[in-house]
Structures are given as structure tokens and as C-alpha cells.
Chain A
Amino acid sequence: MDRLLLLMTTTTYRAGAFLEAARRLGVPVVVGSDQPQVLAAANPGGNLTANFVNPDEGTRTIVEFSGQYPIRAVLAADDQGVILAASASAALGLPHNSVEAVVAARNKYRTRKMLAQAGIPSPVFQRIPIDADPEEAVREVSFPCVLKPLSLAGSRGVIRADNPREFAAAFRRVEAILRQPEVVAQAGEFSRHILVEGFISGREVALEGLLSHGRLKVLALFDKPDPLDGPFFEETIYVTPSRLPAAMQERTITRTAEALKALGLRHGPVHVELRVNDQGPWVIEIAPRSIGGLCSKTLRFVDGISLEQLILRHSLGYGVESLEREGQAAGVMMIPIPEAGILREIQGQAQAEGVPGIQEIRLTIPVGQALVPPPEGTRYLGFIFARGETPEQVEGSLRGAQRCLTFAITPLDDVAASECAGVPAYVRRREMEKAGSIRSRPRLPAGGSRRSE
């Protein structure tokens, strides 16, 4: 039987969900990753190492592999694999988005340009080299604005600035992120610039969809009920169905379809974020992949089919048009990281799990490891999942469960450097500056946590 090639980096959150979906469908899977799998030698037809950063080289590897183990579809689990998936699909003659469209979607500046050229409402935007002097660059900037890296995910490096002083500080903070070796390795040329765009006020929503040869099937429209007004944009709650008025939901879907068309995306999963205000929906970001982290557990379709099963079925050419989301409201909270430090203890999980409507709580940073909040953080502290009759009930369950959780955190300035693995040196230095360990500055108040002794 032909295999499905699932591209995922070794740092993905998505492996379990996709592999379980493949098992349920009985589809043989090849896992293509950027680093060798530890037991790959025992299953050469099930594991493949490919270059994600150089799609041409990665494509050659995949085409050669498919000569021995035929591949029927190529799918990327995360942002990092989408260009390679498009390139390999083109080489193998498999249905997929074009490379050009995916490259455009991976570059937020290019996305902005193409949307604006297509006449889709866009904020003012510009791209500034990270080598620029922010005091000079700010002369061209209007406020409030948002600075963001061109290609990072999960709100990493996204900062709002309301005046030139905040702009300069934010610029240097984003620049520091973009100069991290792992970011340079991951983002390549995209790490050389910062996108600066006008801040769009309003409620944020996310649309999860599936494109079939240019036709958009909306899988879910999520509300994000927590205000995302900055200065950082840590995502917390997603709840579906949306509570937007029906007419605004229709306009949001229409705007999304227009934007996808403008980028040239035609086939496969999409995750689109928009802001909605009195001028209508505004596209914030477009990703040619499914929802990130563990959030997909929120979505369940008829007969208990998972989002990943649905995506795999679609990639293999099976019909998915009749597969609708179950009727219940559902939601997830990406548990906010209260402050930077070493996680010492988590209390209240049993009580949180007992809150009506709560389905599961998954903590994903173990005790003893470092917590880094946005905009630098790259990891989720954990996820709370809830279901209920209405979106209001679901949101209430999520907030109720979060209130039960207490995280004991030792601030970074109180721990030895050896405990700070995974914390960029400049983040630790800033935390120490904040605490007065390097020079005196007032300490920021902590919320939702208690400091451990």
C-alpha cells in the first residue's frame, strides 16, 4: 500500500495526534523529520530524514525515497515543513499548494504585500532590516504599531508599540530573538527583517479550514475571548462555535476565502487569524497547516473523527465534505506562563480537572524546567480542554479550571545558570536586571503564580 509522508520537525507538538489518526485510518505512514529518528534503522520504510531548510535538497531525498517506497501524499504537521511538503508534492505530481503560495504564506511581509495588492483591507506595513537603527527607522512608523518576525509562530516576537520609545525597545527585543542561532537556522533570510504594521483593534478569531482545489470548507471558527491588545500577544483561550453575529461570521469566511485566493493557496489545511472590528474582518496571519500545539483536540467531527483523521483522509483524496464538526461547544486554554523562572511545583490540578465541563488538562513543561513567557518563549506550559452546551459554558469552565491551578516558580535571578537550560542568555540577563541583580530596577508584579522559596 502506498504511504503517506508526514513531515514534522523533532520539536513538534503534533506527532501523537497525526500518528494516532493514521493508525485509526490504517494508513502506512513515513515520518519525515529534520533529524534522524532513534530507531529508524529498524524501519527504513517508515522513517526518513530530510533537509527542511533546503527544500531542493529535501525534495531530492524524498523523490529518491519514493522510488523504493511509493508515496501517495505529503503533509506537513507544522510551519517548518510546509515548503518542503509543497516542493516534494510538486516533484511527485501530488495535489498540494504551489511552492510559491506556501512561500508567500510563510513570509508575513510577502503575505501583507499580496493581500494589499489584491485589494484586501490591510494595515499600513513595512519591512525594516534588523541592522537598522530603530531611532532612525521610527520616523517612518505610525502608532500604535505591531512589530513581528517574518516567519515565527505562536506570537513569538510579536510586540505592540505605542510611541517611539516603546518602538525602540520592542525593536531591540525582536532583533535579539531573530539573532538567536536556532532562529537563524530555522528562518534563514526571514530572520534579517522585522515586519512593522499598524495595530488593528478588535476581537480576534481563528478560522480552521480545509481547501480542496480552491474551495474552502470551514471546519471551525474560534473566538479568542481574551483581549489581545499587547504589548505581547500570548494566546490563551480558543472557543468554538463563534459568538460573532451570523452576518459577521459570513463576512469573516468570505474575507478568509479572498485572502487565501490572493496568496494562491488551493489545497490542504489552513489556519487563519483575523481581527474583527466595526470596519469588518481583517486578516492578521495565514498559515498553510492545521492549528498548532495540542489545540486540535478541541475539534471532533461526526463519528468521533479527529481533525488529523480528517486532514489525512483529505490528503489521500477521500471525500470529507460530509464530515461536520460535532454539535457541542468546545474550547482550549493555552495556559499562560505567569513569569519567567524555574517551575517548582504545580498545585490544584485535581481540583481543576473536577471543574464541570473540563475534559482534560495536559501540562507540557515538567517541574524543574524553565518557563519563558512571550515574546521570547517557545513552549506551551500546558493545555486545558473543555466541552459544553454553549461557548459561554466552555469559556467559564476553562477560566474556572485555570483559577484552580497555582504554579510555584523560582525567578531566574534566584537560580544557578546550570538550571536555566533552554533560556536564552539575554532573557536571563534581562530578568536579572529586572530583579536588580545586575542593576537596580523595580521588579514586575507576578500574576497567577507564587514565588517559591
Chain B
Amino acid sequence: MLTISDLAKKKILALLGAEGRQGSALRMAIMGRGPAGFLYDLRFVEGTTKAPEDVVVDAGGFQVFIDPDSAPKLKGATLEFVEGVQQTGFRIDNPNPLWDDPKARAVQEAIDTKINPGVAAHGGFVSLLDVKDDIAYVALGGGCQGCGMANVTLKQGIEVIIREAVPEIHQVIDTTDHAGGTNPYYQPSKGGGASPFA
């Protein structure tokens, strides 16, 4: 099911010890998808929080609880701990495809190959959150989050590209919390003032 490297085990046991939580379990879940792949949630929980439907992995010294929705997407994955100049921390090597649904896979490919390379020019990125009932749900990040032109990028760019690539998609809905955007490429201004880059 899930492999945990020796170094990762050692680090987790050390963390449990440091927090005085010997006997606790590690809960692992897939929270969604981002530009770099699956988004994971890892947290220590009490052993009593195990749900009957959880998949349990005995890591030797602690248990890992995985909810039934996340379990298939973690099959064959490896939890590692890496130490290096560019990254230090836990990393999950997951061989599973981001999407099982062929429609979602096609939308993801359009985002990866046509949309994200474009919006990267403004420091932005687009993540596919879900595809349901011919609607693609996306979130905009980086320079696109809070950008005054986010709606234009969505309607005149993202939606056009996705519908061209996957004609079954009828609508693209932006679920972004634009009020939380800290570095928007274009900031709205009273009266539609001059663009800062004019």
C-alpha cells in the first residue's frame, strides 16, 4: 500500500517523541491537486480517531491512517524524508495518475501544456480541483490570485482553451479566494485607473 523510508520513519518517531505524543498515529490524506501534483495533508492524531473504514499501515513504531478516498491514490506511494540544499523535509513519491476520469485528465493536460506556461509569464498558475457534471472547477494562484484581470483570464483564456481541448466541458468555475491574493499582477483601481505597467 504505502512505503515509508527508514529515514522518514526515524524522523516521524523523533517528532512524536519531541512532542510527547508517543502512541499517536500519522493521518495521511489527499486534499486536492496543485500545479506540482497531489496536495497532501499529514498530521499526528490520537489512535482513538481511527475510523472503521480507514486503511491502516503499520510503519513499525507508529501507525498510518488513510481515509478510503485517499487510499487508492496512495497505492504504491513512498513517504520519504529528503535533506538537501534546495529542499529538506518529507516528500511523497506517488506513481498514481492525478486523475482517473479521462475527461479530467484531458483538462489537466490542457492546463499543464497550454494554460500554465502562459500564465507563468505573470507569475500565476492554475490548478484543477475537480471535474463534475461537465463543469471544471479551478483555482488561480500566484499573480492570478486577486488580479483585476482574473475574470478575463478565466473567461477569455482558460475557459476557451479547456473547452477547445475538451468540448464536453461546458463551464469553468473559478473557486479562488481572490481576496487572499497577496501579489496580484494587476491591482484594481478606482475609475479603472491607468495600468501600472503603462
Bound complex: CA A185 to CA B196 (Å)? 10
The answer to whether A34 touches B187, judged by C-beta atoms less than 8 angstroms apart, is no
**With A366-B146, A366-B180 as contacts: A38 and B191 at CB distance below 8 Å:** no
Q: Give the Cβ gap from B196 to chain A, nearest Cβ, in Å.
A: 6
Bound complex: CA A275 to CA B103 (Å)? 58
Please give, as numbers and ranges, the residues of chain B lying within 8 Å of A186 by CB-CB distance: 193-194, 198
Q: Give the Cβ gap from A379 to chain B, nearest Cβ, in Å.
A: 6
Q: Which residue of B lies closest to A9 (CB)?
A: B192
Please give, as numbers and ranges, the residues of chain B lying within 8 Å of A398 by CB-CB distance: none
Q: Give the Cβ gap from A151 to chain B, nearest Cβ, in Å.
A: 9
Bound complex: CA A43 to CA B181 (Å)? 26
Partner of A53, one of B179, B192, B198: B198
Q: Which residue of A lies closest to B157 (CB)?
A: A39
**With A19-B151, A39-B153 as contacts: A156 and B191 at CB distance below 8 Å:** yes
Q: Give the Cβ gap from A371 to chain B, nearest Cβ, in Å.
A: 13
**With A13-B188, A38-B124 as contacts: A31 and B156 at CB distance below 8 Å:** yes
Q: Mark B55-99, 1 if CB is under 8 A from A, else 0.
A: 000000000000000000000000000000000000000000000
B29 on interface, CB distance cutoff 8 Å:
no
B contact patch SS: helix
- Tell me the B159-186 residues at the A interface (CB within 8 Å): 160-161, 179-182, 185-186
A contact patch SS: loop
The answer to whether A15 touches B148, judged by C-beta atoms less than 8 angstroms apart, is yes
The answer to whether B189 touches A379, judged by C-beta atoms less than 8 angstroms apart, is yes
Please give, as numbers and ranges, the residues of chain A lying within 8 Å of B179 by CB-CB distance: 362-364, 366, 382
The answer to whether A293 touches B190, judged by C-beta atoms less than 8 angstroms apart, is yes
Interface size on A, residues (CB 8 A): 55
Bound complex: CA A53 to CA B192 (Å)? 13
Please give, as numbers and ranges, the residues of chain B lying within 8 Å of A379 by CB-CB distance: 187-190
The answer to whether A35 touches B151, judged by C-beta atoms less than 8 angstroms apart, is no
Q: Give the Cβ gap from A85 to chain B, nearest Cβ, in Å.
A: 12
Q: Mark B141-159, 1 if CB is under 8 A from A, else 0.
A: 0000010111111011110
A282 on interface, CB distance cutoff 8 Å:
no
The answer to whether B156 touches A46, judged by C-beta atoms less than 8 angstroms apart, is yes
- Tell me the A22-77 residues at the B interface (CB within 8 Å): 23, 29, 31, 33-35, 37-43, 46-47, 53, 77
The answer to whether A37 touches B153, judged by C-beta atoms less than 8 angstroms apart, is yes
Q: Which residue of A lies closest to B184 (CB)?
A: A366
Bound complex: CA A78 to CA B148 (Å)? 13
The answer to whether A40 touches B148, judged by C-beta atoms less than 8 angstroms apart, is no
A420 on interface, CB distance cutoff 8 Å:
no
Please give, as numbers and ranges, the residues of chain B lying within 8 Å of A156 by CB-CB distance: 190-191
The answer to whether A11 touches B195, judged by C-beta atoms less than 8 angstroms apart, is yes
Q: Mark B110-125, 1 if CB is under 8 A from A, else 0.
A: 0000110011011010
Interface footprint category on B: 35 or more
The answer to whether B192 touches A14, judged by C-beta atoms less than 8 angstroms apart, is yes
Partner of A39, one of B115, B186, B190, B197: B115
The answer to whether A42 touches B118, judged by C-beta atoms less than 8 angstroms apart, is yes
Bound complex: CA A42 to CA B152 (Å)? 13
Bound complex: CA A39 to CA B193 (Å)? 22
Bound complex: CA A47 to CA B186 (Å)? 17
The answer to whether B192 touches A8, judged by C-beta atoms less than 8 angstroms apart, is yes
Please give, as numbers and ranges, the residues of chain B lying within 8 Å of A363 by CB-CB distance: 179
- Tell me the A348-368 residues at the B interface (CB within 8 Å): 362-364, 366-368
Bound complex: CA A426 to CA B121 (Å)? 32
The answer to whether A153 touches B186, judged by C-beta atoms less than 8 angstroms apart, is no
Q: Which residue of A lies closest to B179 (CB)?
A: A363
Partner of B195, one of A34, A183, A378: A34
Q: Mark A289-319, 1 if CB is under 8 A from B, else 0.
A: 0001100000000000000000000000000
Q: Give the Cβ gap from A376 to chain B, nearest Cβ, in Å.
A: 11
A79 on interface, CB distance cutoff 8 Å:
yes
Bound complex: CA A38 to CA B118 (Å)? 6
Q: Which residue of A lies closest to B189 (CB)?
A: A11
The answer to whether B194 touches A34, judged by C-beta atoms less than 8 angstroms apart, is yes
A380 on interface, CB distance cutoff 8 Å:
yes
The answer to whether A368 touches B192, judged by C-beta atoms less than 8 angstroms apart, is no
Q: Give the Cβ gap from A131 to chain B, nearest Cβ, in Å.
A: 22
13 A-B residue pairs with Cβ-Cβ distance under 8 Å, sorted by A, are A11-B192, A16-B150, A31-B156, A34-B194, A35-B186, A40-B157, A43-B157, A47-B152, A80-B191, A80-B192, A364-B179, A378-B190, A380-B188
B residues with CB within 8 A of A: 114-115, 118-119, 121-122, 124, 146, 148-153, 155-158, 160-161, 179-182, 185-198
Given contacts A42-B161, A185-B198, 14 further A-B contacts (CB under 8 A): A9-B189, A11-B194, A11-B196, A19-B156, A20-B151, A34-B198, A38-B122, A39-B153, A152-B190, A153-B190, A153-B193, A378-B189, A378-B193, A422-B187
